[in-house]
Structures are given as structure tokens and as C-alpha cells.
Amino acid sequence: MIFRLCILLTVLIPLLSGCVHKSKKERQLCHKRHKLASLYERQEPILTSEQVKNANNLKDFLKIALIQHPKVKTAYYDWIASLEEITTQRYVQDPQLTFQMDIEKMVTSIMPGLVQEIPGPGKIALRAAIATEASYSKYYQFCSSLLETAFTVKNLYYDIDAIVKQIQFTRELLSLQSDIEKINKTQNHVARASLSQVLMNEAEQDRLKTTLANLLAEQNYLVIAWKGALGIQMQDSVPLPGSFEYTQNTLSPDTIFTIALQKNPQLNALRAELEKARKSTALAMKSQIPDFVIGFETNVKRHPWMWRPKGILTLPIWQEKIRAEIAAAVHAKESSKYQVSQEKIRLATAFAHALFEYELACYTLDLLTKQIIPKEMQKLSLAAAANTVGLSELIMLLKTKKAVIEFELEKTKVIRSREVALATLSLLIAGIMPEAYCEL
């Protein structure tokens, strides 16, 4: 009877007072993992090499990056590791087998035993809660890596669009400048154009040649950077975007900022860290509560066996140490609280800057599209008509064409700025997952 009682006490007390079940938050994290496991924990790649080679639009490229980019997978497995850590914190330490002997001239007693350490009431639940909040922080860091990867892809996508058009327009400008230079040289021979005009045209042509060479070098860099943005090794082939699509913003600035305060992953990660600090403070408060060790030993040398129940109680008598632990936890909590406030300020500042860039680009694009370029096209038509009937010189027609191309070049740069600002607002600030990710 004593033997059974000792066994029951040693086994049941840890179960009743130590181990805790999964919390609601832990179950939510497990559910998120279950949905994402099919994308990131597969042995075979979810996208075949043929699918990667046939990608031709922004949505396809985003899917490639969001599934297989090493940065995303690193953040995912960091999160999964922290999720598994919750389970280890929900259990008491393993029981210990003990062995003791008494020896005089001969062995007088042999006493095997079993002991179990039991933390004070509530400590295990708080440790599991701290691990849960740490896992939530890792989860939001994973979400942040997804959004940053998507932003990098979109940024390079519009960089490639802009560089292709800039090369095209620069070549057209170079051709026009060459024609203007030929005409100026001809006029200089008949004293209708000064030598300084000829030299200025030659300098402009050299400038355009240098610009074109720089643009071609930048295009080569963007090809390599494009592979890196998609998470593809340098030796592998990947298609460049063949056609380009542009984003339509359907959200008001107030809506974007409201969503950002709720969904921004960096802000939510800091909120999880703040909650973790609160739980750590509660755990530090419990350092004043003693821990227990219970168990039993039996002397198998005697008959009948002698049973020796065993109990140990820690004595939290070092009050200065306890006060320091509590103070450290409280200060860490205050630090986390101010980090959340700082992140809100940073978010508001970044939002204001990105909104300014977006509105400026929209205004400039509207000005170029509806006013400046139509007027330049009208001037070009008039110059062409005048040149046909000999009312102006050919050089004026070429300069008008050059002005039109320069404004088209400026329009390309403004469109790129608009798309990058919009991607910053939706991805990095509002934390809205791209449509391509939602379809996975």
C-alpha cells in the first residue's frame, strides 16, 4: 500500500500541478502552421522548373519568390522552431532515478528511488505563455519577410520596366541628336550655325552615349538582381518580365493607415514582445513562491522493504535577488512598451513620406499625361506641317521630337516612382499580403 501511494504521489502530482494544456493562442498558431505546411514543408518543390521558366506576369513572379526565397523559408523555420518550444515549456522536467547505498564493512542498504521536481503554482503556465508570445513575434517576422520579399520583387519589376523604356528613349534621342549634329555641321559650313553650336551638339551626343552605356550596364545588374529577388540561384535561368502591369489604388489614405495600425507585422511583433514582457514580469513575481521536489526511496536490502518518502522545498530567502529579478522584468516591460510607441511613430512618419511620394507622382503623371505631352505632340504636328510646306527648318522639327521623347522618358520615371510608393504603402506599411500569396 505504501509503495503504491508513493508511486501515485510521484506521478500524479506533477500531472495535476505542472503540465498544462494548449492555450487558445497556441492552437491558433498550430492552425496557421497547418495551412502553411503544404507550401513550405514539402519535400518536393511546389513549383516545377517548367512553371518557373513559363512565368510571364507579376503574379507568377511573386508566387515564385514567396514560395522558394531562402529569406522566407529561413523566417518560416525560425517560427516553427519557436512553436515547438512552447511544448517543451508546458511540461515539468523529467523525473530522476536515484540510487544510494550504505556501506560499513559490508553493504547494509541499497536504496533506489524516484524524484520529481515541481515548479511553484502557475509557473509552468506562465513559461508556456511566454514561449507562445515569442512564437507570435517570430510569426510576424515571417509575415514581414513575405512582405519585404514581395516589395523587392515589385521594386525590381518596375525598375526593369523603367530601364527598358529609358534605353529605348535614349537610343531615339541619340538618333535625333545625331541628325541635329549633321544639320548643324552643314549649316556651319555655309555660316548659318556657329562652331559653338556644333560643339554643344557633339557634347550632348557624347552625354547621351554615356547615359546609354550606363543604362545598359544597369540593365545587366538588374538581370542578376532579378534572380536574387526571386530566390533563384545565379546559374539557373529565369525569364525577365515581357509585359508590365500597373496597380490601381482603391484605398483612401485613412483606410491604409487604419489597416497599418492593425496589420503591420513589425508593429504586431513588438506588441507580442510587449505581451511576452508582461508574462515575464508575472513569472518574476512568482520567484517568491518556492518550488518542490517529491519522491521516495526504498531499501531493498531489508525484508520487507523499507519505504522512505522524500520532499524538498526551495527557500526563496534572497530578497535582494528576487527584487532585482522583478525589477529587471518590469524595466524590460517598460522598454517594450516604448518600443511599440516608437514603432507607431516610425510607421506614421513612413506613411506620411510614402503618401507624399505617391501623391507627388500622381500629380506629376497627371500633368505630363493630360497637359504637357499633348501640347508637345500638338507642337510636333504643327512643326511637321510647317516643315512640309517649308515654313520652318528641319532642325526645329527634330528638336520638337526630342522634347516629346524627353517628356516620355520623364513619364516613365514618374510611373516607376508611383508604383514603388504604392507598393511601400500597401506592403511595407499597411501589411496587406499580395493577391498572389492569397491564391497559394
Paired residues of 37 in beta bridges? none
Question: What is the model's pLDDT at position 186?
Answer: 65
- For residues 244 and 157, the answer to whether their CB atoms sit within 8 Å is yes
Q: Which CATH architecture has domain 2-438?
A: Up-down Bundle (1.20)
Q: Could you tell me how many helices (H) and strands (E) the chain has, helices first?
A: 13, 4
Question: What is the model's pLDDT at position 50?
Answer: 73
* Whole-angstrom distance, CA of residue 24 vs CA of residue 22: 7
Q: How many C-alpha atoms does 434 have within 13 Å on its Cβ side?
A: 30
Name the residue among 136, 21, 11 with its Cα closest to residue 87.
21
* Whole-angstrom distance, CA of residue 380 vs CA of residue 6: 101
* Whole-angstrom distance, CA of residue 285 vs CA of residue 287: 5
Q: How many C-alpha atoms does 287 have within 13 Å on its Cβ side?
A: 19
Question: What is the model's pLDDT at position 16?
Answer: 47
- Render pLDDT for 23-80 as a digit per residue (tens, 0 to 9): 899 999 999 999 999 889 877 777 767 777 778 888 889 999 999 899 999 999 999 9
Going from N- to C-terminal start, the domains of the chain cover: 2-438
* Whole-angstrom distance, CA of residue 38 vs CA of residue 273: 28
* Whole-angstrom distance, CA of residue 14 vs CA of residue 255: 51
Positions of E strands within 335-380: none
- For residues 64 and 150, the answer to whether their CB atoms sit within 8 Å is no
Residues 6 or more apart whose CB falls under 8 angstroms from that of 47 comprise 63, 64, 67, 68
Looking at residue 242, what DSSP letter applies? S
Query: Hey, what's the cell of 307?
Result: 519505504
Q: How many residues does the chain have?
A: 440
Q: Which residues of the chain have pLDDT under 50?
A: 1, 16-18, 389-392
Gyration radius of the chain's alpha carbons = 36
Q: How many C-alpha atoms does 56 have within 13 Å on its Cβ side?
A: 4
Which own/partner pairs from 31-34 qualify as long-range (CB within 8 Å, at least 24 positions apart)? 32/139, 33/80, 33/83
- For residues 278 and 333, the answer to whether their CB atoms sit within 8 Å is yes
- For residues 432 and 259, the answer to whether their CB atoms sit within 8 Å is yes
Beta strands 306-313 and 107-118: pairing type? unpaired
Question: What is the model's pLDDT at position 47?
Answer: 72
Beta strands 96-103 and 292-299: pairing type? unpaired
- For residues 414 and 244, the answer to whether their CB atoms sit within 8 Å is no
Paired residues of 114 in beta bridges? 97, 296
* Whole-angstrom distance, CA of residue 254 vs CA of residue 179: 52
